[in-house]
A and B are shown apart, each in its own frame.
Chain A
Amino acid sequence: MAGRALGALAAAALVAAPPLLPKYSLEILISILFFAYLGLAWNILGGYAGQFSFGHAAFFGIGAYTSTLLLLRAGVSPWLGMLAGGALAAAFGLFEGYLSFRYGLRGPYFSLVTLAFAEMLRVVSVNAKAVGASLGLVVPTGTPAPLLFVFGGKLPYYYVILAMTGLALLITGAVARGRLGYALIAVRENEDAAEAAGVNALGSKLAAMALSSFLTALGGTFYAQYFAYIDPTITFGPAISIQGLLPAIVGGAGTVLGPLLGSFVLTPISELTRAMLRGRAGADIMLYGLILVLVISFLPQGLMGWRRAVRRSAR
Chain B
Amino acid sequence: MSGLLLQAVVSGLLLGGVYGLVASGLTLIFGVLRIINFAHGAVMMLGMYASYWLWVWLGVDPYLSVLLTAPAFFVLGMGIQRLVIEPNRQAAEHNQLLLTLGLALFLENLALVLWQGDFRTLRVPYANASFVIGDALVEVSRLVAAGGAVLIALALFVFLRRTDVGKAIRALAEEREGAMLVGIDVARIRSVAFGIGSACVAVAGALITPFFYIAPDVGESFNLMAFVVVVLGGMGNFIGALLGGLIVGLAESLGAALLPGSLKQLVVFVIFVLVLLFRPEGLFGGARGR
Contacts and interface: CB of A to CB of B under 8 A. Distances in A.
Contact of B101 (A113, A127, A242, A286): A242
B263 A112 contact: no
Contacts of A297: 84, 87-88, 99
Chain B contact residues (Cβ within 8 angstroms of A): what range?
Answer: 35 or more
Contact of A285 (B36, B84, B109, B231): B109
Interface residues of A, number: 43
Contacts of B107: 289
A124 interface: yes
B262 interface: yes
B117 A281 contact: yes
A270 B113 CA distance: 14
Contacts of A113: 272-273, 276
Interface string A275-292: 001001111011011111
Given A282-B112, A296-B91, A119 B265 contact: yes
A300 B92 contact: yes
B144 interface: no
B106 A290 contact: yes
- In terms of DSSP, what is the predominant structure of the interface of chain B? helix
Interface in A82-133: 99-100, 103-109, 111-113, 115-117, 119-120, 123-124, 126-127
Contact of B94 (A99, A108, A123, A291): A108
Interface string B141-154: 00000000000000
A123 B84 CA distance: 33
A109 B276 contact: yes
Contact of B224 (A119, A242, A280): A119
A245 to B, nearest CB: 8
B97 A282 contact: no
B213 interface: no
A281 B112 CA distance: 7
A107 to B, nearest CB: 5
A296 B95 contact: yes
Interface string B253-267: 000000011110110
Contact of A123 (B101, B113, B263): B263
Contacts of B93: 107-108
A104 B91 contact: no
Contacts of A126: 261-262
A8 B261 CA distance: 53
Contacts of B290: 104-107, 109
A294 to B, nearest CB: 8
A157 B266 CA distance: 36
B19 interface: no
B101 A124 contact: no
A108 B88 CA distance: 16
B178 interface: no
A262 interface: no
Contacts of B106: 286, 289-290, 293
B103 A293 contact: yes
A108 B97 contact: yes
Contacts of B278: 103
A292 B101 contact: yes
A192 B273 CA distance: 26
A286 B110 contact: yes
Contact of B99 (A238, A288, A296): A296
Given A52-B94, A280-B113, A282-B110, 6 more contacts: A109-B289, A249-B98, A282-B108, A293-B106, A296-B91, A296-B95
12 contacts: A99-B277, A103-B276, A113-B273, A127-B261, A283-B109, A285-B109, A286-B109, A289-B106, A289-B108, A293-B99, A296-B99, A297-B84
Interface of B: 36, 84, 87-88, 91-95, 97-99, 101-113, 116-117, 216, 220, 224, 227, 231, 260-263, 265-266, 269-270, 272-273, 276-278, 280, 289-290
